[in-house]
Amino acid sequence: MDRSDLFARYDEELRTDDYADVDASPNGLQVGSDEGTVEHVAFAVDAAVATAERAVAVGADVLVTHHGFVWGGLDRVTGREYERIVPLARNDVSLYVSHLPLDGHQTLGNAAGVGDVLDLHERDPFGALGPEYVGQRGRLADPTSIYDLTARLDDALDTGGRGVRLVDAGPEQVEDVAVVTGSGVDWLDEAVDVGADVLVTGEGKQKVYHEAQEAEINVVLAGHYATETFGVQALQERAEEWGLETTYIDEPTGL
């Protein structure tokens, strides 16, 4: 397959261009060329020296990640920025990035993956960011203890041994679940407004404890990395359907 064809397929499915004005990450091809062919694609949550070197080691032509190297512009390619790009450039490995488009995709995205773990029904987009969404909302099949829901996520996600944390400020029996993976506590007010019993996200901020208590909503912190493995793995499945060899590179942060 041509590299340009692979990137175009992902861009179309993820609606990459629609997120251009709301995402600090330049999504799509971020490093390298769209010329030439691709036979082997590596997938990882984070673009980093470690994942770039592992992509080179397995013979990948393309590395696809959720978090890229560039955030809001790149003034100089020196120091750490240079060291990150060198393994890719020297070995002609292109870096394709999908940040918010992969968070918000309602079937392939990270929030959708968490929704699958919880077997959510009646799903709708959640987590408004301008005209787009970065999360998902749904209902459990039956009301469930917030402690059982937290335990289910703890069993299903690789949190690096740190465990899923709960701010149990809402009802003990929960049914309506809002999900924004990664750093999603900024959508707590929206979760309250739509009547969610719990907001599931990755990591929290100090203020979310008091905000949750005051709003009487539960907040589950399941790990930034752990909640954002789903999207790249879904893209990996797509690549395999297209006949490409793939490798998933797991570099958990425990955060």
Binding site for a divalent metal cation: which residues? 66-67, 103, 224, 228
Q: Which helix (H) or strand (E) holds 218?
A: strand 218-221
Tell me the chain's radius of gyration from C-alpha atoms: 19
Q: List the binding residues.
A: 66-67, 103, 224, 228
Of 183, 143, 167, which Cα lies nearest the Cα of 217? Answer: 167
Q: Is the dihedral of CA 237, 139, 15, 62 positive or negative?
A: negative
Helix, strand, coil fractions of the chain, as percent rounded to 5: 35, 25, 35
81's CB contacts (< 8 A; 6+ apart) are 69, 74
CA 251 to chain centre: 14
CA dist., res. 35 & res. 150, Å (int): 46
> What is the four-CA torsion angle of 123, 125, 126, 127, rounded to 10 degrees?
160
